[in-house]
């Protein structure tokens, strides 16, 4: 009996340690993500201010970013960096991975800076608030639900690939119907990914908690922050296409 009580006490202690570690891990994920988000929107706002002059015309920087072939590099550079980050994460240190993420966040700000020229500041702020509330609810559900939603991953990733292809095709077609369909599907897909990625961050931590490899935990937090960051940014951009009021 004494041995059984000792075993139960030991198991309870380990569970408490895992729970405490999980909370710290999730706080770190959300913290890194939040810093990246602030860097993105600060960079987007600052760059958009330099892109137009006092009369509302594009400056040389604005022309280079939005009216020259350089716009394609600006548009696709974040996507290239995401793939490069995924390939390099196992070879770089946790500090290097975090620096990479923040550089990516600033570059994403450059990529989306045109929203401040296209949409009113009020509608951007309103959409950001709606996105934040929706993201918080979806992430909380993904964290607390007892339902295993790991099976969503394959279908959601296939949906993201479809969105990328459709978006690239529509750059040349300019079809409002395709743009509307992409926006609707984009909101649904990234809403699902927000819940899915949150649960995956949680389950990955629990599965590796026994080893407590600090380097792995640090990299895992950064990768989790990147995934949730991408979910938030894409959810925001697709919602902005519905809610944004154009200048």
Q: Residue 83: what pLDDT?
A: 83
Residue 216 predicted with pLDDT over 80? no
| Domains held by the chain: number | 1
Say how far apart CA 188 and CA 110 lie, in whole Å: 26
Predicted confidence band at 188 (pLDDT cuts at 50, 70, 90)?
very high
Burial 75-90 (b: 16+ CB within 10 A, else e): beebeebeeebeeebe
Rounded average pLDDT over 136-146: 94
CA atoms within 13 A on the CB side of 247: 10
Average pLDDT score, the chain: 86
Reported pTM: 0.88
Residue 133 has pLDDT above 90, yes or no: yes
Mean pLDDT of 81-105: 87
In terms of average pLDDT, the best of 10-24, 68-82, 193-207 is 193-207
Residues 182 and 163: beta-carbon distance below 8 Å: yes
Residue 60 has pLDDT above 70, yes or no: yes
What pLDDT does residue 90 have? Answer: 79
Beta-carbon contacts of residue 222 (< 8 Å; ≥ 6 apart): 32, 89, 94, 97, 98, 101
pLDDT at 65 over 50: yes
pLDDT band at 2 (very low <50, low <70, confident <90, very high): very low
Distance CA 237, CA 225 (A): 18
pLDDT-above-90 percentage for the chain? 45
Residue 9 has a pLDDT of: 43
pLDDT at residue number 16 = 62
pLDDT of residue 4: 44
pLDDT of residue 56: 74
Banded pLDDT at 191 (limits 50, 70, 90): very high
Q: What pLDDT does 64 receive? A: 82
Q: What is the extent of the structural domain holding 91?
A: 2-243
Residue 81 has pLDDT above 60, yes or no: yes
Stretch 120-141: mean pLDDT, rounded? 94
pLDDT exceeds cutoff 80 at 29: yes
Q: State which of 68-72, 122-126, 150-154, 176-180 shows the largest mean pLDDT.
A: 122-126
Tell me the mean pLDDT in the region 192-216. Answer: 84
């Amino acid at each position: 009996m004494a041995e059984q009580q000792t075993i139960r006490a030991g198991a309870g202690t380990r569970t408490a340690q895992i729970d405490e570690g999980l909370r710290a891990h999730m706080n770190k994920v959300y913290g890194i993500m939040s810093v990246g988000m602030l860097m993105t929107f600060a960079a987007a706002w600052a760059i958009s201010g330099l892109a137009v002059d006092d009369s509302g015309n594009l400056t040389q920087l604005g022309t280079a970013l939005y009216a020259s072939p350089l716009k394609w590099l600006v548009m696709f550079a974040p996507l290239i960096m995401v793939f490069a980050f995924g390939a390099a994460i196992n070879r770089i240190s946790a500090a290097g991975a975090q620096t990479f993420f923040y550089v990516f966040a600033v570059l994403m700000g450059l990529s989306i800076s045109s929203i401040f020229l296209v949409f009113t500041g009020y509608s951007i702020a309103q959409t950001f608030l709606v996105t934040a509330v929706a993201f918080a609810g979806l992430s909380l559900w993904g964290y607390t639900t007892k339902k295993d939603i790991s099976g969503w991953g394959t279908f959601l990733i296939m949906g993201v690939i479809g969105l990328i292809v459709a978006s690239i095709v529509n750059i040349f077609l300019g079809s409002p119907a395709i743009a509307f369909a992409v926006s609707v599907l984009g909101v649904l897909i990234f809403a699902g990914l927000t819940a899915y990625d949150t649960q995956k961050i949680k389950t990955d931590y629990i599965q590796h908690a026994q080893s407590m490899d600090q380097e792995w935990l640090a990299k895992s937090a950064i990768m989790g922050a990147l995934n949730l960051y991408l979910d938030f940014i894409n959810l925001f951009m697709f919602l902005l296409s519905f809610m944004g009021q154009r200048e």
